[in-house]
Amino acid sequence: MITRLFGFKGGVKPESHKNESSGPPIQKGPIPKRLVIPLRQSIRSTARCLVQPGQKVLKGEHIGEGEGGLGTSVHASTSGTVVEIAPYPMAHASGMETLSVVIEPDGEDRWIDHTPLDLRAVSREEALAWLRGCGIVGMGGAGFPTHVKIGGGQGIETLVINGAECEPWITCDDRLMRERAAEVLSGAMILRELIGAKQVLVGIEDNKPEAIAAMQAAASKLGDGIAVVPVPTLYPAGGEKQLIRVLTSVEIPQGKLGTDFGVQCFNVGTAHAVHRAICFGEPLVSRVVTLTGNVARPGNYEVLLGTQVAELLQLAGPKADTDRYIMGGPMMGTELQSLSVPVTKGTNCVISASPALFPPPPPELPCIRCGACARACPAELQPFELYWFSRAKNFGKAQEYHLFDCIECGCCAFVCPSRIPLVDYYRFAKGEIWARERERQASDQARERFEFRNYRQEREKEEKAAKLAAKAAETRAKLADTGEPAPAPAEAEDPKKALIAAALARAKQQQAAVAPRNTEDLSADVQAEIADIDARREKLNQQDADKAP
């Protein structure tokens, strides 16, 4: 099916260090004393907690409901009791925390009832919902929900299964392919069906001959339409765009995806998880993790999600001179700030580092603009420009130079003669840009709230004025019906004032109606008394008028 391979730009050849851990078969890790299961297990989405402290749960029980378009479910990794729901540190350079469900296992490892999904009996949408419910996300580290990545299933010609595993030291995919090749390819065939791809290409770096042989043997039983292809060992051949380029010749430009060119790519671990989810109804509750570096028993261990690194490391036995731990590989991994962080769906490796294995980098020297970093960059960026702009906090310029196309592969830093930790600068710049974006969104929301409050107050004022005007019109109409004199124009707008003015007018009329008669012959004393009474009445009327609101 494949007649020739293609090269990608850039790349480096670090020492692979695969032999340290790839020898022994995958071992099953024991059930730990407690599990800390983060509710954030997929990119940009934290699941809504479905359990409470004190609640008993079974293995595979739904404990977090995925929310939003990128949401996916989270499950209990074994049976036990929920003892706490609280923020715990994540494997992140900043040491940031995320809400997690803490489970005390009962040691019985009892599963929920689970059954396979018959793909022929359900619609494509139901199958995708099933994968979402089983919490399947990309296991190569990106954590992108698989049901979203399968997408519309339109126009995809080629499904690429990524078994390159190009990072030094990591061997979990290698062992998975050697030992569970049929299961991985079963998942690949399910993905092919859901995507509607015509062909499946499995790319494996040629430094894994046993994995290539096992996968080729399994593929030969599946007939045409699937090829297992050894690709040259060159870091980062396992990058999605790089592997697609090598296998299909398709060059995916900056800002575009493989799907734009009819190619979709999934990691071998993801294909294996899809197989377990469809063929057994098993949610994703465990994964294979490489423990290697400065340890007594390097190897690959199948461990429950939520196992804390401190407990995990006991399986491999870190040596006394270990001075730090890296989650992931040395090129793209993160130095752990805390050993309480748990294994998540994207955790593929924990490396114990010692000064002998990973000597401290020599002091950083000034950039000499030699261009070595640009020649090594597989994303075709200008790393030294990104470095200058990031260092000068000129984030706008860094974005102009496509900072967000940087895949943080570390090739530039690997070749830099000045030993500049370039990727640290890019991560800093990206973090600052994201933080500013969050601040901008928060201030936009505050401004919108303020403007809405002003608008609401204005609207209420106008509604009140309209009600008063309607009431005044009603009053005027009533007065006109009874034949009483209309109030003065200023009073007409206020129904209360209009009523008072009408009452005063009525009093005046009554007064005129009862005007005394035959008073011409009154004595001077009586006339004076009447004048005094009139004056007092006038005064009282005036006081009433003044009191009116």
Total of chain residues touching ligand SF4, rule CB under 6 A: 28
Examine residue 252 and tell whether it contacts ligand SF4 (CB under 6 A). no
Q: Does 531 bind ligand SF4 (CB under 6 A)?
A: no
Least distance from ligand SF4 to the Cβ atom of residue 380, Å: 8
Q: Please say which residue, 291 or 406, places its beta carbon nearer to ligand SF4.
A: 406
204 forms part of the interface with ligand SF4 (CB under 6 A): no
Token duo for residue 340: 């309480």
Pairing assessment for the beta strands 48-49 and 286-293 based on DSSP bridges: unpaired
Contacts of residue 545, defined as CB under 8 A and 6 or more positions apart, other chains included, come to 504
Q: Does 235 bind ligand SF4 (CB under 6 A)?
A: no
Return the H-helix or E-strand segment holding 202: strand 199-205
Residues 71/65, Cβ–Cβ less than 8 Å: yes
Using CB under 6 A as the binding rule, whether residue 420 contacts ligand SF4 is answered as: yes
Q: How far is the CB of 378 from ligand SF4 (least distance, A)?
A: 6
* Contact call for residue 393 and ligand SF4 (CB under 6 A): no
CB of 425 to ligand SF4, least distance (A): 10
Write the CB contacts of 120 (distance below 8 Å, at least 6 apart in sequence). Answer: none
425 near ligand SF4, rule: CB under 6 A = no
Residues at the annotated binding site?
367, 370, 373, 377, 406, 409, 412, 416
Does residue 305 belong to the site contacting ligand SF4 (CB under 6 A)? Answer: no
Binding-site member from 91, 305, 357, 423 for ligand SF4 (CB under 6 A): 423
How far is residue 274's CA from residue 128's CA, in Å, rounded to a whole number? 11
What minimum distance in Å lies between the beta carbon of 144 and ligand SF4?
18
Instruction: Give DSSP secondary structure letters for 231-267.
Output: E---BTTTSHHHHHHHHH---PPTT--GGGGTEEEEE
Q: How far is the CB of 254 from ligand SF4 (least distance, A)?
A: 11
Does the footprint of ligand SF4 cover residue 242 (CB under 6 A)?
no
Query: Could you say whether residue 407 binds ligand SF4 (CB under 6 A)?
Result: yes
CA dist 217 → 185, 223, 421, 535 (Å): 11, 11, 43, 123
Tell me the closest approach of the beta carbon of residue 413 to ligand SF4, in angstroms: 7
Lookup result for tokens 């995919």: 173
- The end-to-end CA distance of the chain, in Å, is 95
Q: Which of 191, 418, 425, 487 binds ligand SF4 (CB under 6 A)?
A: 418
Q: Which is nearer to ligand SF4, 8 or 384 (CB)?
A: 384
Among 170, 219, 326, 409, binds ligand SF4 (CB under 6 A): 409
Q: What are phi and psi of 145, to 5 degrees?
A: -60, 130
Of the candidates 179, 217, 182, the one whose C-alpha atom is nearest the C-alpha of residue 25 is 179
CB closer to ligand SF4 out of 295 and 379: 379
Quick one: tokens of 316?
């491999």
User: Least distance (Å) from ligand SF4 to the CB of residue 427?
Assistant: 10
> Quick check: 431 binds ligand SF4 (CB under 6 A)?
no
Euclidean distance between CA atoms 5 and 246, whole angstroms? 5
Question: Is residue 194 within the footprint of ligand SF4 (CB under 6 A)?
Answer: no
For the segment 351-390, give every residue that binds ligand SF4 (CB under 6 A): 367-373, 376-377, 379, 381, 383-384, 386-387
Residue ranges of the binding site for [4Fe-4S] cluster: 367, 370, 373, 377, 406, 409, 412, 416
Q: Does 429 bind ligand SF4 (CB under 6 A)?
A: no
Helix ranges, 196-320 (H): 209-220, 240-248, 268-280, 309-316
Cβ neighbour number for residue 394 with a 10 Å cutoff: 14
Q: Which residues contact 2 (CB under 8 A, 6 or more apart)?
A: 201, 227, 229, 247
Q: C-beta of 356: minimal distance to ligand SF4 in Å?
A: 26
Which chain residues interact with ligand SF4 by CB under 6 A?
367-373, 376-377, 379, 381, 383-384, 386-387, 406-412, 416-418, 420, 422-423
